[in-house]
Amino acid sequence: MNPLVLWFHKLGSPPYFYTFAGRLLPWLYGIALVGSLAGLYGGLVVAPSDYQQGDSFRMIYVHVPCAWMSLFAYLFMAANGFIALVWRIKLSETLAMAAAPVGAAFTLITLISGSLWGKPMWGTWWTWDARLTSELVLLFLFIGVIGLYHAIEDTRQAARAAAFLALIGVVNLPIVHYSVIWWNTLHQAQTVNLMGASKISASMLWPLLTLAAATHVYFFASVLARSRAMLLVLESGKDWVRTLAQNEAARSTEAAHV
């Protein structure tokens, strides 16, 4: 077998994944932190104010990266859910379920920051615009997946049921993405275009792309950190977790004696 495929198989083993993710985590958190600080500096200080929206446009630097992440997180959750349902890989179940709360967090930020942006620009906190409504549905889907996962006693069965729900919810993703094109309502159409020219100046664009990259890295950091914690519970009967718990207990009693 080719070494990359071999390594991928090895990564599917929980103890190997646990160690590997633990080694990767500080780097991911570090890169995400440095990236977002650079992006925030660029967005809040370097970028000029908008000719129409003044300084209120600076909310784009939290709103848009989080909106992209909400869709990306859902796609990641659904893809892992699909793998979990078809090939019954335990790690994929874990990754899918770990992505749900992170995706919910990003969706929540998107909705709140959008509301805060809507008030001064549109004159309203909320409206049942197609984009806003479909993004709210996305939040409910995340919450539904989390709720279903916690409602079923058997963790693996719960993960598969929740993964199935996540897969059904995929129909909402194109609706969120194309809502600004299909329905002509309040939310503006996209400004940044990956496939063509963006309708935004470079000085405003680079902080946005930097923050988008940083939030992606953060997403993976959070998912890996959550997966590690979930694997400890899932595999609590296994030797590798027992050894970890015993070491931890020994360390904490030592700390108590000092």
Partner 1 sequence: MSEFFAMGGYGTYVWAAYAVFFVVLAIDAIAPLLQRRRALRELGNRLKRQAARNSR
Site for partner 1 in 124-183 (CB under 8 A): none
CB hemisphere CA count around 221 (13 angstroms)? 15
Backbone angles phi, psi at 50, to 5 degrees: -75, 145
Residue number with CB closer to partner 1 (43 or 85): 43
Q: What radius of gyration do the chain's Cα atoms show?
A: 21
Selected from 101, 134, 162, 204, the binder of partner 1 by CB under 8 A is 101
Residue 55 lies near partner 1 (rule: CB under 8 A):
yes
Selected from 38, 105, 139, 213, the binder of partner 1 by CB under 8 A is 105
Q: Report how far apart, in Å, the C-alpha atoms of 85 and of each of 7, 173, 181 are.
A: 22, 20, 33
Q: Report how far apart, in Å, the C-alpha atoms of 42 and of each of 9, 36, 102 are.
A: 41, 10, 25
Distance of closest approach, residue 173 Cβ to partner 1, in angstroms: 21
- H or E, element range at 140: helix 130-151
The span of 141-149, 162-170, 181-189, 222-230 binding partner 1 (CB under 8 A) equals 222-230
In angstroms, the CA 76 to CA 71 distance is: 9
Residue 52 lies near partner 1 (rule: CB under 8 A):
no
Residue 59 lies near partner 1 (rule: CB under 8 A):
yes
Residue 192 lies near partner 1 (rule: CB under 8 A):
no
- H or E, element range at 250: helix 239-257
Selected from 75, 83, 116, 146, the binder of partner 1 by CB under 8 A is 116
Decide: 170 and 177 in contact? Cβ < 8 Å. Answer: no
Q: Where are the beta strands (DSSP E) in 50-135?
A: none
Token pair for 116: 């805060």
Site for partner 1 in 66-95 (CB under 8 A): 66
Selected from 119, 124, 191, 193, the binder of partner 1 by CB under 8 A is 119
First to last CA, the chain: 51
Residue number with CB closer to partner 1 (124 or 246): 246
Q: Which residues of the shown chain bind partner 1 in the complex (CB under 8 A)?
A: 29, 40, 44-45, 49, 54-56, 58-59, 62-63, 66, 101-102, 105, 108-109, 112-113, 116-117, 119-120, 218, 222, 225-226, 228-230, 232-233, 236, 241-242, 244-246, 248-249, 252
